[in-house]
A and B are shown apart, each in its own frame.
Chain A
Amino acid sequence: MLFNSLDFIIFFPIVVMGYFALPFRFRWILLLAASYYFYGCWKANYLILLFASTVLDYTAALGIGSSKTPRGRTLFLLMSLIGNFGMLFTFKYFNFFTSNFEFLFDFYRIPLPALKVLLPVGISFYTFQTLSYTIDVYRGEQKPERHFGYFALYVTFFPQLVAGPIERSTRLLPQFFVKHNFDYERMRSGLLIMMVGFFKKLVIADRLSVYVNDVYNNPGKYHGMPIIVATYFFTFQVFCDFSGYSDIAIGSARVMGYELMENFHRPFFSTSISEFWHRWHISLSSWLRDYLYISLGGSRVSKLKWYRNLLVTFFLSGLWHGAGWTYVIWGTLHGVYCVTSIITQPLRTRLHRLAGLTRVPRLHHVLKVLITFHLVWISWYLFRASDLTATCTLFMNTFKDFRLFDPAIFEPLNSVEVVAGVLAILVMETVHLFQERRFAVQAWVLRQPLPLRWGIYYAMFFAIIAFGKFTEQEFIYFQF
């Protein structure tokens, strides 16, 4: 089920009403059933995978908890790792792997196997979530959960099941044991966050996607400015699509009394690539940091190993996003950015001092934000293009027949739609700018006199209705 569908608009109030109407001891059953239904609406067959993943990690964690020897604990951890990564490999990476080793299969005259399966929605998200639980149990940071129902709910909790945030068991599991009574203020706050999410998804992301799809799905069709505009639009599309999903997830969980982690923290105000990754898809970057980067030694090793750790982490982050070379190179490029940034740090500091930038810190800050934004911007060419050939074509065509005021800019989308999209981005980024300056926008709204406060709610609601795209487009991160 999609958040941006009528089905969800009907489903969610029913679940919330049922949730608060039921006695506490039965609520987990309702939430679990609702979560399975939510996922099953997409493809009921794949509920088996979800269930298998749940059983696997439930058993592994209990095994780790009851093992007397470190060897036994390690064996159970391995069981979970092999099972989860095996599932991920089979459904997500198998065809990518075989197609890349085609020459070997050809050489040994082995018929090339191909799996004709649909990528299960959100498999990377729930696999990483359950894995974090088992690893935490192994590390002694989390006690194994004995109640299968609560654990299953942790794996499948519908607001964050298919596209995160990837929640840690230490944070989410205990919340299921707390009785949440109906709270008007909390519900209002949750609904407001959901509304922001819908605004991002329907008004910005889905509108810009029309432009982006036209340009990126036809790599040879446009030259110059339309490609540049499409890549800027994609930058905001992917942000609004994913952070919009996270907002709806966080908001809908809050309505029921659950707090999910923040997944985006105004990433386009980052002053460096490493800061960008502290603000973008926080739940994944912190997962990779805690379970991969630090396990490899993090930064507390020799410089060369540190660089290696960074590159490996970003390489795998790219691979997590998709089974394709464009994603792998996209991830690695971010790793290269980080390593280059560390290596050139002393030189850049000296240059900044020479240029006098240190005396104008505000300008210096703005420049850093702009440079980081554009380094990320370039990488979206890889992320969005269908393959490496399309990436190259689009990149080369950017410089071909370049005209600043190219009338083709309005070819993929009419001027009113472009203006509506750009205005919506400006509104969003202005709010972000205020938030960046530690101005609590939501708290400010809630402090306003009733007419103004309601005016803001109405304006947002009707802006979503009048300017939203209601084509029920899937969220980009579903495919990961």
Chain B
Amino acid sequence: MNKMRTIIKTAAFLTVLVAIHAGLRQAYYAFITPRDTYLQEQESFTAHEGAYDVALFGDSHALLSVQARLLGNAANLSQLGEGYIERYYKLDYNLRKNPGKLKTIILPLDMHSFSPVWGENFNIVSSSRYVNFADYVWQTGFTTKALRDFVHYYVFPYADCTPEIYAALPSNVREKTRAGAARFDRNLAKTPPNAEQIKKLMITHYGEQREWRSEKALRYFNRIKTLCQKENINVVFVRFPVSKLYFDAASEIVPIDEFDRFTQELVDDWPGAMLLNYRGLYFDRDDLFADLNHLNFEGSIIFSQRFARDLTDLGALHPAIETAEP
């Protein structure tokens, strides 16, 4: 009898525990995550009625180079540090969640896009909203880390939520916007990086091994291709602008001719795909860059207008509804 009572009590205790957990999880998704600026972009994409002409799926280059409002009926779903694996899952998620909303997508073909460290980048923190756990395990293997990530990001997303609470404070949202704007205001011509900073960036993009081509990233590129063909989505590939300094440093790692041949083959093998090459567009305009490989505010406006014109010429975009002078 006593044993039975203990079992019932334990079961009741666990039931309440699970109920509180569900409540906290819900509260986290309702009040904390919506403050995330990227998620706001995703939410507005979902809430938008009708289809978009184009949507960008890239990393920080695409995010900072293109101001979607200058393109017109466009969305910039790019995310910092995104690689082709994450990109596949994000596209897949959006196609399922927002069917018929995508007509043309923009994908990057930058020099670092297929490097192992970048192309295979699979950040569970940002991906957990797109990737189900089975896919995640398939990606990473059934390791302790996978299990740990599962518990943290899928079961207890509110675990260690102080950084998110901090970021969600109204004063910090303002501060973040201000800091972002400040970064956007920088000028590479006035503050050129030193050799150490360039070396550090090369390691971030190509790793200590200085490799530029990952078969795994390429597999996911091909999965995106299958997905787009199945859903009848057009693709425009873009080589985003980089500074001459970046290009020179990266050329020591990436054999440019081979890389260009390789990416051109990818484009040629993709029926209907087009490539816009802006890599060297601003080689003599360091003043348009915030740093080695990201355009600043002025640069992004000039580039977005140019990009809008080219997309319109390609027939992918209707004329921009808003224009701004640089």
Contacts and interface: CB of A to CB of B under 8 A. Distances in A.
Contact of B166 (A184, A417, A466): A417
B170 to A, nearest CB: 13
Interface stretch (B129-137, B156-164, B190-198, B218-226): B156-164
A416 interface: yes
Given A184-B6, A416-B166, A417-B166, A466 B159 contact: yes
Contacts of A207: 162
Contact of B148 (A6, A416, A468): A6
Contact of B163 (A184, A414, A457, A470): A414
A329 B79 CA distance: 51
B166 A458 contact: no
A17 to B, nearest CB: 14
A312 B51 CA distance: 80
Nearest to B149: A6
* Most chain A Cβ neighbours within 10 Å, of B144, B151, B159, B160: B160
Given A6-B147, A7-B144, A458-B16, A416 B165 contact: yes
A467 B156 CA distance: 12
Given A414-B166, A415-B166, A454-B13, A468 B24 contact: no
B20 A462 contact: yes
Contact of B158 (A457, A458, A465): A465
B159 A6 contact: no
Contacts of B161: 466-467
A467 B148 CA distance: 17
Contacts of B165: 416
A416 B165 CA distance: 7
Query: Which of B21, B156, B159 gathers the greatest number of chain A CB atoms within 10 Å?
Result: B159
A469 interface: yes
A96 interface: no
Interface in A347-395: none
A416 B16 contact: no
B186 interface: no
Contacts of B166: 414-417
A465 B151 CA distance: 11
Contact of A468 (B21, B147, B160): B160
Interface residues of B, number: 22
Contacts of B148: 6, 470
Nearest to B152: A470
A145 to B, nearest CB: 36
Contacts of A37: none
A312 B124 CA distance: 53
A470 B6 contact: no
Given A184-B6, A416-B166, A466-B24, A6 B160 contact: no
B13 A468 contact: no
A457 B16 CA distance: 11
A7 B146 CA distance: 12
B27 to A, nearest CB: 10
Interface string A438-459: 0000000000000000100110
B169 interface: yes
Most chain A beta carbons < 10 A, residue from B20, B21, B144, B166: B166
Contact of A417 (B20, B151, B152, B163): B163
B17 interface: yes
A450 to B, nearest CB: 8
A415 B166 CA distance: 8
A52 B166 CA distance: 51
Interface in A397-446: 414-417, 420
A461 interface: yes
Contacts of A420: 162
B163 A466 contact: no
Given A6-B144, A417-B166, A467 B16 contact: no
Interface in B169-224: 169
A462 B24 contact: yes
Interface string B24-41: 100000000000000000
B148 to A, nearest CB: 5
A413 B13 CA distance: 36
Nearest to A464: B159
Contacts of A470: 148, 152, 159-160
Contact of B156 (A414, A415, A454, A465): A465
B300 to A, nearest CB: 29
A469 B160 CA distance: 6
Contacts of A416: 162-163, 165-166, 169
B7 to A, nearest CB: 10
A467 B160 contact: yes
B169 A6 contact: no
Contacts of B6: 184
Contacts of A6: 144, 147-148, 151
Given A6-B151, A414-B163, A454 B16 contact: yes
A454 B162 CA distance: 25
A458 B19 CA distance: 11
A468 B160 CA distance: 5
A469 B158 CA distance: 12
A184 B163 CA distance: 38
A7 B161 CA distance: 22
A462 B22 CA distance: 12
A462 B151 CA distance: 14
Contacts of B159: 465-466, 468, 470
Contacts of A457: 13
B144 A467 contact: no
Contacts of A466: 24, 158-161
Contacts of A462: 20-21, 24
A427 B104 CA distance: 56
Nearest to B159: A465
Interface in A169-184: 184
Nearest to B13: A454
A334 B165 CA distance: 41
A416 B163 CA distance: 8
Interface string A461-480: 11001111110000000000
A188 to B, nearest CB: 10
A256 to B, nearest CB: 18
Nearest to B158: A466
Interface in B1-21: 6, 13, 16-17, 20-21
Contacts of B147: 6
Contacts of B151: 6
Interface in A1-40: 6-7
8 residue pairs, one from A and one from B, having the closest CB atoms: A416-B166, A414-B166, A6-B148, A417-B162, A416-B162, A465-B159, A416-B165, A420-B162
20 contacts: A6-B151, A7-B144, A207-B162, A414-B162, A414-B166, A416-B163, A416-B165, A417-B163, A420-B162, A458-B20, A461-B17, A462-B20, A462-B24, A465-B159, A466-B24, A467-B160, A467-B162, A468-B160, A469-B160, A470-B152
Given A6-B151, A416-B166, A462-B21, 5 more contacts: A184-B6, A416-B165, A454-B16, A466-B24, A466-B159
Interface of B: 6, 13, 16-17, 20-21, 24, 144, 147-148, 151-152, 156, 158-163, 165-166, 169
